[in-house]
Amino acid sequence: MPQIELGNIIIDVELKNVKNIHLSVYPPNGVVRIAAPSRMDLDTVRVFALQKLKWIKKQQESFHNQPRETAREYLTKESHYFLGKRYLLKVIEENATPKVILKHKTIELHIRPNTSLEKRALIIDEWYRNQLKLMLPKLIVKWEKVIGVQANDFGIKKMKTKWGTCNTSAKRIWLNLELAKKPLECIEFIIVHELVHLLERNHNDRFVSYMNDFMPKWSFYREELNKLPFRHVDWKY
């Protein structure tokens, strides 16, 4: 993927079959990407980016100032989130199969003695994944009926720069595992966003019009999602 540099800002440029140029700044660390028509040369893209430089810096500063979760140690009384609600972790060591139990105010992590931090993280992540697998089918069907489309499949995976993606050819949507920690309405917003891509591949005026029709408060949910604390990360995009 070609790149252009504006001072200390590196911009990924994707030349593709689109009519208009699209600029995006992604959380959590403000990676910048431009999707431009395949016929457009990089000098023209650079001029466009220069004109938007003030806006790019403003978005990056907003993400930089956004609260971050501290690195998780998976210890008793540590804060963890599920569907936007804060729970305290309660670690229970026992010689039995590891499991996670959701209580009213706590998330119980049952593990064998001397379980490593990495293994604790995997157990919690797998629990989040299973919770999403239980709730997503009903939510997807709900919004498929509203939007008038049907996805062939969905998947859950960790993603660094996106809350979701849509493979329009395969009609498959992917959702970020981190969504399990976010409020339900934010999860639904991402589902709607990805399903609408089955009607319009690009983030153009037609796409926005569909979003306005199907979920009038979508921009509010997007802002709410992007204002929530990001997971602690050690890498940069």
pLDDT of residue 28: 64
What are the tens digits of pLDDT across the range 32-86?
A: 889 888 889 889 999 999 999 998 988 888 766 665 566 778 999 999 999 999 9
Using alpha carbons only, what angle is made at residue 217 by residues 61 and 156, rounded to the nearest 5 degrees? Answer: 70
* CATH number for 153: 3.30.2010.10
Q: Are residues 189 and 132 in the same domain?
A: yes
Single pTM value for the model = 0.73
182 lies in some domain? yes
236 lies in some domain? no
Q: Are residues 52 and 141 in the same domain?
A: no
> 123, 140, 157: which is closest to 194 by C-alpha?
140
Backbone angles phi, psi at 199, to 5 degrees: -100, -35
pLDDT of residue 134: 96
What percent of the chain lies above the pLDDT cut of 70?
91
Domain boundary among 39, 64, 89: 64
Q: Are residues 184 and 125 in the same domain?
A: yes
Q: Are residues 38 and 144 in the same domain?
A: no
DSSP codes, 99-147:
EEEE-SSEEEEEE-TT--HHHHHHHHHHHHHHHHHHHHHHHHHHHHHHH
Give the sign of the dihedral formed by CA 220, CA 134, CA 144, CA 197.
positive
The residue that leads in pLDDT, 198 or 21, is 198
Using alpha carbons only, what angle is made at residue 163 by residues 31 and 80, rounded to the nearest 5 degrees? Answer: 105
What are the tens digits of pLDDT across the range 111-161?
A: 999 999 999 999 999 999 999 999 999 999 999 999 999 999 999 999 877
Please give the residue range of the domain that contains residue 35: 3-64
pLDDT of residue 93: 96
3-state secondary structure of 221: helix
Please name the helix (run of DSSP H) or strand (run of DSSP E) that holds residue 154, with its range, or none: strand 153-157
235 lies in some domain? no
The residue that leads in pLDDT, 229 or 57, is 57
